[in-house]
């Protein structure tokens, strides 16, 4: 029997650890701009650099989630953080673009912490409270805002040395791992299994739910609400510098204004999902996101596609204050959507939270990998800054359409009367 204090301690420690991990995971959004200048990288190369940690973080979520189901979240979490801290420190020793990419793969392990935390936290709470609990845990996404706020300031304080910033991050993460180990304990399920000698589910058994199309539909939702969130958190500092001509410190602050609501309202999204249903929250998220990204897609009026050799600079039709406001609204609804997606998983797959949550997180994280690269390529070859939001409009519209028709199909299975014609009843007096 777990006590309320043990639940709160597990949730608090997991959330704080995830915040630090997420801050490390997105560190290239700031130091990557300095590295880009030092190495003379193109926008495409920059996009690959900032996206590389996201690739590792995404791919690692599946096996980290499965290991958490098998061996418990406490030990897996600690080992994952220590490995990432070592990689972040070694990052400061490389000098070539190719080695930066290799080092970035190691730093990306920080992103795998989400799958571990979801499985660990969900086991402390009953189903009716899991949406809120996982929403609070997911607030660790605020680590992206922490990096966008703190990393530029650290660069100034440390004399512009991005290597020193990475070292500070590495030490902070290592200390977090030690504190997490000291102040937490094994989750109730894993502790019970150790006492009873229950057999761990095999790797293959954990993958069994992935045969369901529903899991892949949830993954597409998360590809947008999380993958696009990470992509924009990484891309917006570069966007503000290139499109609006802002200083990096200012660009980082405005990017944090997007990342902050995209994180702190996740707990609110979990509460809404518990109270009104995750399906309703997903509808609100996708409809609002379509509206925001469509408006932000509006391009500058004086560009021509033919003959363009590079992206247009300082030529955005949308006023800066309007654009920033739209990013805040978009981040808010993405935050609600992230909580709503993960509200589904413990309900539909209570015995496979690690594997299903890991797969959904993997696909979502891949959005954070592929989208920044695509944004950079579109800038290099198309030359329209707002093309990234055109792409996001198409993506979220597809997700909304698939969700709506899937729900309609499920409703018709549950209520056969919906399959037939729904004519208006005949009015009395008009018969015959």
Task: Calculate the dihedral angle through the C-alpha atoms of 40, 106, 229, 38, rounding to the nearest 10 degrees.
Answer: -10
Q: How confident is the model at residue 398 (pLDDT cuts 50, 70, 90)?
A: very high
Report the number of distinct structural domains present in the chain. Answer: 1
Q: Is residue 191 part of a domain?
A: no
CATH code for position 10 = 1.20.1250.20
pLDDT of 309 reads: 44
Establish if 72 belongs to a structural domain: yes
Q: What is the mean pLDDT of residues 44-58?
A: 84
Would you call 60 exposed, middle or buried from its count of C-beta atoms within 10 A (0-12, 13-18, 19+)?
Answer: buried
Q: Give pLDDT tens digits for 322-354.
A: 999 999 999 999 999 988 888 878 777 776 766
Identify whether 194 is part of a domain: no
Q: Which domain holds residue 289?
A: 4-179+208-413
In a domain, 421, yes or no: no
77 and 190 in contact (C-beta within 8 Å)? no
User: What pLDDT was estimated at residue 376?
Assistant: 84
Establish if 293 belongs to a structural domain.
yes
pLDDT recorded at residue 178 = 95
**What pLDDT is attached to residue 291?**
95
pLDDT, position 14: 93
User: Which of 380, 295, 289 has its CA nearest to residue 330?
Assistant: 289
Does residue 313 lie within any of the structural domains? yes
Residue 420 within a domain: no
CB 159 within 8 A of CB 393: no
Selected residue with higher pLDDT from 288 and 95: 288
**H helices, E strands: number in the chain:** 20, 0
Q: Which positions ≥6 away from 389 have C-beta within 8 Å? A: 293, 294, 296, 297
Residue 45 domain-assigned (yes or no): yes
Mean pLDDT of the chain: 82
Total-model pTM:
0.69
């Amino acid at each position: 029997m777990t006590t309320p204090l043990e639940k709160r301690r597990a949730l608090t420690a997991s959330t704080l650890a995830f915040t630090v991990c997420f801050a490390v995971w997105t560190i290239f959004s700031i130091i990557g701009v300095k590295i880009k200048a030092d190495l003379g990288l193109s926008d495409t190369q920059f996009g690959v650099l900032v996206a590389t940690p996201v690739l590792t973080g995404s791919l690692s979520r599946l096996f980290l989630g499965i290991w958490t189901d098998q061996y418990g979240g406490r030990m897996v979490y600690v080992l994952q953080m220590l490995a990432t801290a070592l990689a972040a420190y070694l990052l400061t020793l490389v000098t070539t673009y190719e080695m930066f990419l290799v080092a970035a793969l190691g730093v990306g392990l920080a992103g795998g912490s989400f799958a571990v935390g979801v499985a660990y936290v969900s086991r402390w709470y009953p189903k009716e409270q899991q949406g809120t609990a996982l929403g609070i845990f997911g607030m660790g996404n605020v680590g992206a805002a922490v990096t966008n706020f703190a990393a530029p300031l650290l660069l100034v304080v440390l004399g512009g040395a991005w290597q020193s910033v990475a070292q500070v991050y590495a030490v902070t993460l290592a200390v977090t791992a030690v504190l997490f180990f000291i102040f937490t304990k094994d989750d109730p399920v894993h502790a019970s299994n150790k006492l009873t000698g229950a057999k761990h589910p095999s790797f293959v058994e954990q993958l069994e739910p992935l045969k369901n199309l529903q899991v892949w539909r949830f993954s597409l939702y998360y590809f947008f609400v999380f993958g696009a969130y990470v992509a924009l958190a990484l891309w917006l500092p570069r966007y503000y510098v290139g499109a609006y001509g802002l200083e990096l410190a200012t660009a980082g602050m405005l990017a944090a204004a997007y990342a902050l609501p995209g994180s702190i309202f996740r707990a609110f999204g979990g509460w809404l999902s518990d109270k009104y249903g995750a399906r309703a929250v997903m509808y609100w998220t996708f409809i609002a996101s379509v509206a925001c990204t469509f408006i932000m897609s509006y391009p500058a009026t004086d560009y021509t596609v033919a003959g363009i050799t590079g992206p247009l600079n300082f030529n955005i039709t949308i006023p800066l204050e309007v654009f920033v406001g739209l990013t805040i609204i978009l981040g808010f609804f993405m935050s609600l959507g992230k909580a709503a997606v993960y509200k589904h998983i413990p309900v539909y797959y209570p015995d496979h939270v690690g594997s299903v949550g890991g797969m959904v997180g993997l696909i979502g994280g891949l959005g954070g990998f592929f989208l920044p690269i695509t944004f950079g390529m579109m800038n290099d070859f198309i030359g329209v800054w707002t093309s990234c939001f055109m792409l996001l409009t198409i993506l979220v519209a597809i997700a909304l359409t698939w969700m709506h028709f899937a729900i309609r199909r499920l409703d018709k299975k549950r209520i056969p009367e919906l399959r037939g014609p729904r004519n208006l009843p005949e009015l009395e007096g008009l018969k015959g």
